[in-house]
Amino acid sequence: MQHWDSNTDGPRDDDAARSDEIVQQINKRLTLNTLIQGAAVHSCLTAHHLVRDELEEIGPELLRYYDSLSVSLMLNYFIGDIPLLYGLPSRFWRRINRPSHPFHRHPLLAAHGRELWQQSKQYLLARGRKKSIKCFPVIHHIQLNLLFARVAKAERGKESRLARIAEAANSQIWGIDQDRLEARLTTDVAFGNLQVPKTTVGQITREAAVGYGGVERRDGRFMVVARARTWPLVSHELTKGIVELCCLHGLNTLNEETYRIVTEEADQLEYETWTMQAGSELWRRLLAAVPVDQSLSETLMHIARLEPGPCEQLMFAVVEDTVQARTLLERLG
């Protein structure tokens, strides 16, 4: 697979500068995608607690089911059947400095991707043990399928009400009007113009997808749309779409050609598993650094507007030095 390398026919200086600029924009977009995936994981794990009363009114067992299913769903990216398709995460992150690695030219992930992946995994394993989740690969997969079936049965006939509750929860978290959110619990999850996968693994992933979230323009207005098979996943996809909407502020200054190149390279479906693994811990560290008086959605917009260099500097601080990161974020606000 070709990754971000400029042409090798002796480019002129202006061509080389242009190529370097595009690489920096791709790296920035990958950083934002990692935050998007991390925010979505956090929502999957926690959003149901914000609407506890509403969920218990529909079914007293739902909150307990969602607590277990959400952890198991996210652990599936580390110890479940997804590594069988994508390969061992430990091997992927260990080899990040090799030129053939898709993230080898991404400074933040090259320096800290393996650490972030390890911390994300340990966090989920610890949370899973508290929820009586089996943390051994084959047994975990069996338990996940049982949990999925149990939740599907409990949600049957209540999908529309649950979708409105998911919208309300994410509206509360992000301060976005609920009428700009459209959630649906369904097995028909595909919508919009889906990017064509570049690999067989990506094609399999697309066929097996249990949820999609994103932004659609309707009548001159951006809408966040989410389709997923169950409530924790529809909340996950809503958050993904909302944070994507915030991060669009980092793309709207690019010309059409650069936008196409950047999104085609950085937004590959095959990358979502890896950015989710690193993003979970990256998002928790960002939350620890955001000043309490700053809006999370506005903070993300400011981050997305940064030039690639300052954005990279900020995210290194988020990982390495919370105090410095908070100072930088205060200046943004």
Q: Whose CA is closest to 246, among 304, 181, 180?
A: 304
Q: Are 45 and 276 in contact (CB under 8 A)?
A: no
77: Cα separation from own chain's centroid:
12
- The helix/strand/coil state of 106 is coil
- Any bridge partners for residue 149, and if so which? none
Give CA–CA dist 90/261, Å, rounded: 29
DSSP annotation of 194 reads: P
Interstrand relation of 211-218 and 181-185 (parallel, antiparallel or unpaired): unpaired
Tokens linked to 294:
């700053």
Give CA–CA dist 38/126, Å, rounded: 17
- Written in H, E and C, the secondary structure of 195-224 is CCCCCHHHHHHHHHCCEEEEEEEECCEEEE
Interstrand relation of 181-185 and 221-228 (parallel, antiparallel or unpaired): parallel
Position 249 scores a pLDDT of: 83
139: Cα separation from own chain's centroid:
26
**Where are the domains positioned within the chain?**
17-332
- How do residues 93-143 score in pLDDT, each as one tens digit? 999 999 999 999 999 999 999 999 999 999 999 999 999 999 988 899 999
- Residues 6 or more apart whose Cβ sits within 8 Å of residue 187: 229
Q: Are 245 and 215 in contact (CB under 8 A)?
A: yes
- Residues 6 or more apart whose Cβ sits within 8 Å of residue 137: 79, 80, 83
Edge-to-edge strand order for the sheet containing 221-228?
Answer: 181-185, 221-228, 211-218
Q: Which residue shows structure tokens 């950047």?
A: 262
Q: How many CB atoms lie within 10 A of CB 31?
A: 27
Give CA–CA dist 331/266, Å, rounded: 28
- Any bridge partners for residue 227, and if so which? 184, 212
User: What spatial distance separates the first Cα and last Cα of the chain, rounded to whole Å?
Assistant: 40
- Residues 6 or more apart whose Cβ sits within 8 Å of residue 16: 6
Tens-binned pLDDT, residue by residue, of the chain (333 aa): 333 333 333 334 555 555 888 999 999 999 999 999 999 999 999 999 999 999 999 999 999 999 999 999 999 999 988 888 899 999 999 999 999 999 999 999 999 999 999 999 999 999 999 999 999 888 999 999 999 999 999 999 999 999 999 999 999 999 999 999 999 999 988 776 667 777 888 888 877 788 888 999 888 889 999 999 999 999 999 999 999 999 988 887 888 899 899 999 999 989 999 999 999 999 999 999 999 999 999 999 999 999 999 999 999 999 999 999 999 999 986
**CA torsion sign, 98 to 104 to 107 to 113?**
negative
Q: Whose CA is closest to 324, among 293, 285, 298?
A: 285
Position 305 scores a pLDDT of: 94
What are the start-end ranges of the H helices in 51-158? 52-58, 62-79, 82-86, 89-94, 107-130, 137-155
Q: Are 241 and 184 in contact (CB under 8 A)?
A: no
- Residues 6 or more apart whose Cβ sits within 8 Å of residue 318: 282, 285, 286, 289, 325
